Structure 1
Amino acid sequence: MLPWLSRNDPALTVLRAKSAEQEATPEALAAIRADLGLDAGPLALLGQWATGLLKGDLGTSWVSGYPVAPAVASGLATSLTLMAGALAVALVLAALLCAPTLVRGARGTLPEGRPGGAVGAILVACPEFLLATVGLIVCGVWLGWLPTSGWAGPEHLVLPAIALGVPAGAMIGRLVGDALPGAFDERWVGLWRSSGVTEGRIAAAALRRALPSVVPQLGLVVVALTGGAVAVETIFAIPGIGRTALGAAKSQDLPLLQGCVLALICLGLVAGAVAHFARRAMLGTGLRDAALSPPPAARGASGAAQFVLPAVFAAVLLVLVGWGLLRDPLTVDVSLKLLAPSWAHPLGTDALGRDVLARLGHGAARTVGSAVAVCAFGFLLSLGLGFAPRVASGIADVANAVPPVIAGVLVAAALGPGTAGAAIAVAAVSWPNLTAHAAALTQEARAASYLTAQRAMGASADWITLRHLLPAVAGPLARHAVLRLPGTALAIAALGFLGLGTQPPTPEWGLLLEESRAYVEVAPVAALAPAVAIALLAALTVSSANITGIARRKAVRA
């Protein structure tokens, strides 16, 4: 249905993709429509594609005229190799993050606090496109240790695998690290220790006990890898399926896009199924319905110290954004291009002589403004669906398994790249977590004893909903939506970096980072300023999540 939802004529897009010099005459466009079957309508095209799919035929590319299946198979093989390398990096990093917890837990000296440390927490929130850009600049351009593009040998795998694997490994490490204290707190650990069982066997048994609760999340980690692969493959010019899907979306080569998205969805489904069966095998019949005891409450820092880091990050961002908003981001003066930082231009100028601080400030307004709209939409939608969770349960499962980048590719193919399209893409896949939270809050509120008394006294269902249920759900859900704001802004910045979001010359953080890569050696401060802003936003995301977790544990204890 994308051609009929698009604001652009798909025949014109395909003509431009095939030959930019050919004149777009009515006859030429009519011939393309007839050749592609666009006049038959979406149902006819869907029927033809589904019939071919049953025979193993994914169709023919609208742009190249070659069969889609070999291109999808080749891109998938490349992406699977990249993901295998990323998973290896992720497992090594996760093992390093969990090793102190395992050793201390086996010895019985496990302190209270969040396992994994601040380093692992920050790495979780660092987007793949930022790590890939920084790695390319530092290790590829400045130091010259590794190649910066292409796919010709093992050395080309190192930087992309690290960029993809570090956030995934930090996530796995945190998940396992959070589950290990609950395993070490069970009674059998003390019994084994008093019986003289070695620390190594205790650590291995505790790890096996903690892993089943984490394995289902590994499927989502693989799904996140598919989304991150789109950006990483684009940055390093890797001919994987993510980069192929992005190119197909921009040229509206729908058969190729359909094949790529189908392969990515199947990859996510297979990963989820493998994780499910692995969990059942690890638990065994006797423990499949058992749950780990909750991890001990984190001690951490106390009082105002919990808010020091987020306050610092927020203050730096506010100063940069506020100062930049007072300046003009669009004035072009090529005589001032790539200037070093000065009082007139505190962060220097870009390749067109535009003030980088101004573009950073106005870009934040657009990026964060879109994120605010997305979070508000998610809050309102989840507030309504929380009272009827079964209505959207199936759709929520699908949306939760689709990375924002893949959604951005599809929306860009339908509506074209732009700020609104990026916001729609992120909004389409970011509401399931809020909806699940709203449903849990609603269920908990409905079970309150005072509501039973209200019903016994004859209160109507509408009165109970408006006076009791809605206030009980809306407050915590609103706080959850606000805490998701930095992560939502990072997702929108990722789409801007890929060219699926805001378009030049309008400033936006992801777009600024993409534009600055070309002159990083000449003007490193101006080029890295968007990266620093995104890193501060990532750190603010982690700090907010930590504060939320501590507040939640205090509420549980109360």
Structure 2
Amino acid sequence: MRTLLWRGTLAGALVCGIGLLPWLARTDPALTVLKARAQDRDPDPEVLAAIRGQLHLDEGPLGLLGRWLGGLARGDAGRSWISGADVGPTVLQALGASLLLMAVALCFAVCTAAAVCARTLSHGGRDRSGGTGSAVLAALPEFLTASVLATVVGVQLGWLPALGWYGPQYTVLPALALGLPVGAVLGRLLDDQLPGAFAEPWVRAAVARGLPARRIARQAVRRVLPGLLPNTALFVVGMTGGAVAVEQIFDIPGLGRTTLQAALAQDLPVLQTGTLALVLLAALAAGLARLGMRLLIGPALRDGALPALHRPAGSTRRGTPLVLAAALLAVLGAGLPRDPLAVDTRARLRHPSAAHPFGTDALGRDLLARIAHGALDTLLLALAISAATLLAGLLLGLLPRLSGPLVDTVNAVPPVLAALLVTAVAGGGPATPALAVAAVAWAPLAAHTSALLRQERAALHLTATRALGAGRWYLLRHELLPAVLPPVTRHALLRLPGTALALASLGFLGLGAQPPSPEWGHLLAENQPYAERAPWTVLAPAAVLALLGALAVTAATTPAGRRRPQLSMGRETVRRGPVDG
């Protein structure tokens, strides 16, 4: 009951905060609605007065909120301030399109995750080689992937439709754009935990009994899956409400696009109803994730009989991060001495050459210079936000009863909507994207921390240590945090490229630094129309972003310390060593 009450309070606070959006932003809702209905119409005082009377704006935010809640109790979500249509059917139709897209994207994500960790499964956790490839996929922005798929597969090759929403075949390309990066992140998280599962004593016993390698691999996946279910639930909601860019590119009438358009037009009935639908979806996904955890490892959690899941040292070559770091530093060193704002209209869209190693953009500006200068602010701010969100995720993850409903509520807010709320409260400026990204980026880390802690608290060694008289703080410092901190830190590093892109993308939307600032999101978005004519204008910043993702993941998977025992699946020989944990 406490959890339900806390969850309801958070959902109500979010919906009420959205209802106050025009007044927090100190804008005239009547003027915003007029501009959304007819941009070329003059704001005549009589027209504005008529709109205020029609929408009951004179009642104030509390009166409007009470009117909307009263209608919602009767099954009436009101009418759109812009179109005048019933909000309920509009939101339900958009939710249906988003759920269908999410379901197909989740299938692609599962296939991608399986491909990422396939080598680890086939070699019994001994050979892990999916880190760099998964980092590249996870670092590619969704709107860039969607644009490439729409242009190449949809337009040039004509294999699949690239625009519209008229049948199942129209879901393939947008679902690929959404599912590939999500699958890369999930596969990397799974690949990070599998070596620890294969190093547990039950695997040695299974190999000694002659069980097939495929069956052992399935049980290893089942062993680590509960720790990933909360993040999978977060991805489900994110692919439903956060797929704004993909829905815009493919012209999909989904819930994310509908909510964003309502937020920009301050269409409060549609915005509140859409946000409420996302909150309910987040609660449902979190409930299913918790149910899945209970079904998979419920008795072990109850009896405290779960082996400790620790990750052995990886097999990533130590020189890989150094090579990637050297490549990134070389790009920065070559581009920083150049002027990122110098315009040469005679050199527009030039091919890469000795004078311009990465080519030029539509204004003749050197892309190498813009990428290098944009990296400084973007990377430093992304690192600071990643450190802050890692700390917040760990602290809140230690309090699952407090953070669980909070994670579900925060995850239901698309990043763009969070940026609009932050702008309304704190105003615009360079700090707005940082505050907006930090406000939502801690949620996956907190969910990951809570899931790992729940498993670790049921470990045999923790039960024995507690029986010897160890106190709560001793267990936290010497047992729980050493087991949870490394995987959550690697998770934060895996999300570093996405944080950098989210910062730059929000800045491009006008919520932060303005053009001609050479932020990476600006580079990708402003050069996207020239992707077919001058592909280097998009491929160059995307390649540097992928390089950052590969560097972050390989740095996190570089082996350190002594190697733990590994098993050769499907072979007669078993590599043995001292077992700890």
TM-score by length of 2: 0.75
| 8 Å CA contact 1:210, 1:292 repeated in 2 | no
Aligned twin of 1:134: 148
**1:242-253 correspondence to structure 2 within 5 Å:** 242-253=256-267
> In the TM superposition, what whole-angstrom CA distance separates every residue of 1:73-130 from its partner, at most 9, and x where no partner exists?
111111111111111111222223333333333xxxx42x546443234333433233
Aligned twin of 1:462: none
CA 334–141 in structure 1, closer or farther in 2 if over 3 Å, else same: farther
| 8 Å CA contact 1:129, 1:232 repeated in 2 | yes
Aligned twin of 1:73: 92
| 8 Å CA contact 1:128, 1:228 repeated in 2 | no
> 527, 538, 554: which one pairs with 1:516?
527
**1:169-208 correspondence to structure 2 within 5 Å:** 169-208=183-222
The letter for the 2-side match of 1:229 is A
Moved more, 391-400 or 416-425: 391-400
- Higher relative contact order by CA 8 Å / sep ≥ 6: 1 or 2? 2
Aligned twin of 2:570: none
Aligned twin of 1:47: 66
The letter for the 2-side match of 1:230 is V
After TM superposition, what 4+ stretches of structure 1 lie above 6 angstroms from structure 2? 379-394, 413-418, 433-440, 479-482, 551-554
Following TM superposition, by how much is the alpha carbon of 1:348 offset from its aligned partner in structure 2, in angstroms? Answer: 3.7
Structure 1 residue 283 corresponds to structure 2 residue 302: no
CA 435–201 in structure 1, closer or farther in 2 if over 3 Å, else same: closer
Structure 1 residue 329 corresponds to structure 2 residue 350: no
What is the CA–CA distance in structure 2 between the aligned matches of 1:436 and 1:287, rounded to whole Å?
Answer: 17
The letter for the 1-side match of 2:37 is K
CA 437–273 in structure 1, closer or farther in 2 if over 3 Å, else same: closer
Which residues of structure 1 form unaligned runs of 5+? 441-475
SS of the residue 2:246 aligns to? helix
What is the CA–CA distance in structure 2 between the aligned matches of 1:196 and 1:382, rounded to whole Å?
Answer: 42
Structure 1 residue 95 corresponds to structure 2 residue 114: yes
What is the CA–CA distance in structure 1 between the aligned matches of 2:509 and 2:449, rounded to whole Å?
Answer: 33
Moved more, 164-173 or 381-390: 381-390
The letter for the 2-side match of 1:59 is G
| 8 Å CA contact 2:164, 2:170 repeated in 1 | yes
What is the CA–CA distance in structure 2 between the aligned matches of 1:544 and 1:142, rounded to whole Å?
Answer: 38
Moved more, 311-320 or 69-78: 311-320
Aligned twin of 1:226: 240
| 8 Å CA contact 2:137, 2:546 repeated in 1 | no
| 8 Å CA contact 1:375, 1:481 repeated in 2 | no
The letter for the 1-side match of 2:33 is V
| 8 Å CA contact 2:229, 2:293 repeated in 1 | yes
**1:120-519 correspondence to structure 2 within 5 Å:** 120-226=134-240, 228-288=242-302, 289-301=304-316, 305=319, 307-319=321-333, 321-323=335-337, 326-329=338-341, 331=343, 336-342=347-353, 345-368=356-379, 370-371=381-382, 374=385, 395=406, 398-399=409-410, 402=413, 404-411=415-422, 419-431=430-442, 486-496=497-507, 502-519=513-530
Aligned twin of 2:455: none
SS of the residue 1:41 aligns to? helix
CA 532–229 in structure 1, closer or farther in 2 if over 3 Å, else same: same
Following TM superposition, by how much is the alpha carbon of 1:179 offset from its aligned partner in structure 2, in angstroms? Answer: 3.4
What is the CA–CA distance in structure 2 between the aligned matches of 1:389 and 1:104, rounded to whole Å?
Answer: 35
| 8 Å CA contact 1:249, 1:410 repeated in 2 | no
What is the CA–CA distance in structure 2 between the aligned matches of 1:281 and 1:385, rounded to whole Å?
Answer: 25
Moved more, 82-91 or 211-220: 211-220
Following TM superposition, by how much is the alpha carbon of 1:175 offset from its aligned partner in structure 2, in angstroms? Answer: 3.2
Aligned twin of 2:552: 541
What is the CA–CA distance in structure 2 between the aligned matches of 1:498 and 1:150, rounded to whole Å?
Answer: 24
| 8 Å CA contact 1:176, 1:210 repeated in 2 | yes
> In the TM superposition, what whole-angstrom CA distance separates every residue of 1:152-190 from its partner, at most 9, and x where no partner exists?
233322221111111222233233333333333333333
Following TM superposition, by how much is the alpha carbon of 1:424 offset from its aligned partner in structure 2, in angstroms? Answer: 2.2
What is the CA–CA distance in structure 1 between the aligned matches of 2:100 and 2:371, rounded to whole Å?
Answer: 36
Which residues of structure 2 form unaligned runs of 5+? 1-19, 453-485, 565-579
What is the CA–CA distance in structure 2 between the aligned matches of 1:373 and 1:338, rounded to whole Å?
Answer: 34
Aligned twin of 1:470: none
| 8 Å CA contact 1:248, 1:254 repeated in 2 | yes
Aligned twin of 1:457: none
| 8 Å CA contact 1:250, 1:413 repeated in 2 | no
> In the TM superposition, what whole-angstrom CA distance separates every residue of 1:256-314 from its partner, at most 9, and x where no partner exists?
12222222222222111111112212224345454443344224256x52531441343
Moved more, 173-182 or 247-256: 173-182
SS of the residue 2:230 aligns to? helix
Coordinate RMSD, CA, aligned? 4.1
What is the CA–CA distance in structure 2 between the aligned matches of 1:552 and 1:493, rounded to whole Å?
Answer: 40
TM-score by length of 1: 0.78
What is the CA–CA distance in structure 1 between the aligned matches of 2:554 and 2:210, rounded to whole Å?
Answer: 41
> Percent of counterpart pairs with the same letter?
50
Aligned twin of 2:567: none
The letter for the 2-side match of 1:491 is A
Aligned twin of 2:105: 86
What is the CA–CA distance in structure 2 between the aligned matches of 1:392 and 1:200, rounded to whole Å?
Answer: 37
What is the CA–CA distance in structure 1 between the aligned matches of 2:260 and 2:312, rounded to whole Å?
Answer: 44
Structure 1 residue 23 corresponds to structure 2 residue 70: no
The letter for the 1-side match of 2:501 is L
| 8 Å CA contact 1:516, 1:528 repeated in 2 | no
Following TM superposition, by how much is the alpha carbon of 1:210 offset from its aligned partner in structure 2, in angstroms? Answer: 3.3
What is the CA–CA distance in structure 2 between the aligned matches of 1:379 and 1:165, rounded to whole Å?
Answer: 25
| 8 Å CA contact 2:192, 2:311 repeated in 1 | no
Aligned twin of 2:10: none
| 8 Å CA contact 1:223, 1:403 repeated in 2 | no
CA 492–281 in structure 1, closer or farther in 2 if over 3 Å, else same: same
The letter for the 2-side match of 1:181 is P
Moved more, 492-501 or 269-278: 492-501
Aligned twin of 1:14: 33
The letter for the 2-side match of 1:191 is A
Moved more, 218-227 or 64-73: 218-227
The letter for the 2-side match of 1:428 is A
SS of the residue 1:285 aligns to? helix
The letter for the 2-side match of 1:104 is H
What is the CA–CA distance in structure 2 between the aligned matches of 1:387 and 1:169, rounded to whole Å?
Answer: 27
The letter for the 1-side match of 2:292 is A
SS of the residue 1:294 aligns to? coil
| 8 Å CA contact 1:486, 1:540 repeated in 2 | no
